[in-house]
A = this chain, B = another copy of it.
Amino acid sequence: MNASEFRRRGREMVEYVAGYLEAIERRQVYPSVEPGYLRPLLPSCAPQEPDTFEEIMEDVEKIIMPGVTHWNSPYFFAYFPTGNSFPSILADMLCGAIGCIGFSWAASPACTELEMVMMDWLGKMLQLPDAFLVERGGEGGGVIQGSASESTLISLLAARTKATWRLQAASPGLTKAAIQEKLVAYCSDQAHCSVERASLVGGVRLKTIPSDDKFAMRAAALQKALEEDKAAGLIPFFVVVTLGTTSCCSFDRLSEVGPLCDKEGLWLHVDAAYAGSAFICPEFRHLLDGVEFVDSFNFNPHKWLLVNFDCSAMWVKNRTDLTGAFKLDPVYLKHRHQASGFITDYRHWQLPLGRRFRSLKLWFVFRMYGVTGLQAYIRKHVGLAREFESAVRGDARFEVCAEVVLGLVCFRLKGSNELNEALLEKINATKKIHLVPCHLRDQFVLRFAICSSVVNSSHVQLAWEHIRGLATDLLRAGPEPKAALAEIKS
């Protein structure tokens, strides 16, 4: 395909994309396909000779789209939102065309430098302390990672290295393995599974701290665990505070836990994957109070800030903590400016070597929306969640299961877990809207997350009427929800 054919096909794709997103609510949000649906629809080998673009686009509509879960549909209320906006898609087109791999400053100076400035812009929007901002002369700085999971892992690894060096400096005879065996990481019992995975990868123990009645980790509970572990000869080194948990968007008490970690000399990482975007609004910024005690902080603009996946924003208070843990310098990656000390080579900040020019997405989105536009977007979602919450509270058969702070409502029918499992099964089987569940303590709970960039009050109301109707059917079916469940599953 040469440039002039691309001009034609590119315009066609722009039209397809515009049409897809414009009319997305007319598509069934969750697909009707069964596992294995696709393979019989495709040849078993790649074609020897080229197919035409028309054939491919026909297949997109005919065989791909029927198997897609439409995350951008206004009837999608599952998981958490995934960022999507036209400015971000435009920036990604440019990113693809430039196609530079920004592992070092020299590999594409603009790629590194725009990222540094955009992370400062974003840090200022969040009112991060100066230590995190390069422009303010801080010793920290920001970097775009691929995901919150990677940010947690990298933080844990950097903390592990730092703790090991400190302990070896104090007791030169200690081996790495002897130290690692005793290191303990901590998170709330509501933390994301990626924290457990990070501890598995890092080969360290993880202790989960019981959260309080608001599903928040408190300093007292953490302190108790620290004391116990130290008494048992273990070495606490790393704490993850979650702001906006996946299950119910609860907030660990950063302003309590921060000072404790500071006093104990523990690396404190904040995972605000979903909720972080809201901190650009002054009325939600207090949720980040205590960030001055944090060593590393991460959230995903690719969730709730209209930036397409992947774009996970991470800041560290001291950049040498990261680069010290990972720095390797083969000759083929050395360049003239490297020794100057004024250079950021982002490969030392992340696990992969390669990286896309992802800051273009932030730049386009910030400029095309403006801060006020982004704040308005967050507020719209929070408002819709409050609207749904009111509706739930207005129906005595239902209960709200956790405080609604941002765009997620956890709710359930008063009654058994089986009843609620049956309700969710019914909801997802009819495929008008899509939700996923969670467990809060022993309760099976439905999560209603405001996700789509085009969702509005009418979709939320329709969703609620639909849920209410299904609940009525279910309750009418009798006192034995298992029968109803069996009926649905058959």
- B201 adjacent to A90 (CB under 8 Å): no
Partner of A7, one of B15, B45, B302: B15
Query: Which of B107, B308, B326 is A96 in contact with, Cβ under 8 Å?
Result: B308
**Would you give the shortest CB distance from A386 to chain B, in whole angstroms?**
22
The answer to whether A10 and B14 have CB atoms under 8 Å apart is yes
What separation, in Å, do the CA atoms of A9 and B367 have in the docked complex?
15
Q: Is the CB of B310 within 8 A of A356?
A: yes
Q: Per a CB cutoff under 8 Å, which of B109, B148, B352 touches A37?
A: B109
Q: Are A331 and B438 in contact (CB under 8 A)?
A: yes
Residue ID in chain B nearest A350 by CB atoms: B149
Could you tell me the distance between the alpha carbons of A366 and B50 in the complex, rounded to whole angstroms?
8
Given contacts A92-B93, A331-B438, 13 further A-B contacts (CB under 8 A): A5-B86, A7-B18, A10-B86, A14-B93, A35-B337, A39-B135, A47-B367, A63-B110, A68-B108, A71-B101, A79-B101, A178-B181, A192-B330
Smallest beta-carbon distance A382→chain B, Å: 20
Instruction: Knowing A68-B100, A96-B88, A246-B330 are in contact, say whether A3-B22 is a contact too (CB < 8 A).
Output: yes
Q: Which of A53-61, A457-465, A468-476, A477-485 contacts B (4 or more CB under 8 A)?
A: A53-61
A208: interface (CB < 8 Å): no
| List of B residues within 8 angstroms of A329 by Cβ | 193
A203 neighbours in B (Cβ, 8 Å): 176-177, 180, 202-203
**Contact pattern, A 353-378, Cβ under 8 Å of B = 1, otherwise 0:** 11010001001101111111100000
With A and B bound together, what is the CA distance between A71 and B357 in angstroms? 12
- Contact status of A18 and B35, CB under 8 A, knowing A124-B45, A201-B351, A330-B246: no
Set B34, B157, B354: member contacting A309, Cβ < 8 A? B354
Q: Separation in Å of the A413 CB from the closest CB of chain B?
A: 17
Q: Which residue of B lies closest to A1 (CB)?
A: B86
Within 8 A of B (CB), among A96-112: 96-101, 105-111
Q: Which residues of B contact A438 (CB under 8 A)?
A: 330-332
CB proximity to B under 8 Å, residues A51-98: 51, 53, 55-56, 60, 63-72, 79, 82-90, 92-94, 96-98
A427 within 8 A of B: no
Q: Which residue of B lies closest to A5 (CB)?
A: B86
Chain A 118-137 interface residues, beta-carbon cutoff 8 Å to B: 120-122, 124-125, 135
Give 4 nearest A-B pairs by CB, closest first: A67-B110, A10-B14, A177-B181, A147-B352
The answer to whether A68 and B310 touch across the interface, beta carbons within 8 angstroms, is no
Which size class do A's interface residues fall under?
35 or more
Q: What is the CB-to-nearest-CB distance from A91 to chain B, in angstroms, rounded to a whole number?
A: 9
Give min CB distance, A25 to chain B, whole Å.
13
| A39 close to B117 (CB less than 8 A) | yes
Q: Which of A124-174 contact B (CB under 8 A)?
A: 124-125, 135, 146-150, 153, 157
With a cutoff of 8 Å between Cβ atoms, the chain B residues found around residue A11 in the complex are 10-11, 14
Distance of A193 Cα from B332 Cα, bound (Å): 10
A175 within 8 A of partner (CB): yes
* Per-position binary interface string of chain A over residues 437-461, scored 1 when its CB falls under 8 Å from any chain B CB and 0 otherwise: 1110000100100000000000000
Closest to A280 in B: B46
Contact present for A368 and B309 (CB under 8 Å):
no
Given contacts A203-B203, A364-B56, contact A46 B122 (CB under 8 A): yes
How many angstroms between the C-alpha atoms of A176 and B204 in the bound complex? 10
Distance in angstroms between the alpha carbons of A121 and B439 in the assembled complex: 40
Q: Is A113 an interface residue (CB 8 A)?
A: yes
Q: In this assembly, does A321 line the interface, its C-beta being within 8 Å of a C-beta of chain B?
A: no
Return chain B residues, CB-CB under 8 Å to A147.
Answer: 352-354
The CA of A170 and the CA of B159, in the complex, are separated in Å by: 33
Judging by beta carbons under 8 Å apart, are B3 and A7 in contact?
no
Which residues does chain B contribute within 8 Å of A124, judged by CB atoms?
44-46
Across-interface contacts of A363 in B (CB, < 8 A): 56
**Which chain B positions have C-beta within 8 A of A120?**
44
Shortest distance from the beta carbon of A178 to any chain B beta carbon, whole Å: 7
Q: Contact check, B55 vs A367: say whether CB atoms are below 8 A apart.
A: yes
A194 on interface, CB distance cutoff 8 Å: yes
Q: A94-B60, A110-B67, A309-B356 are in contact. Are A50 and B370 (CB under 8 A)?
A: yes
Give chain B nearest CB distance to A321 CB in angstroms.
Answer: 15
**Is there a chain B Cβ closer than 8 Å to A196's Cβ?**
yes
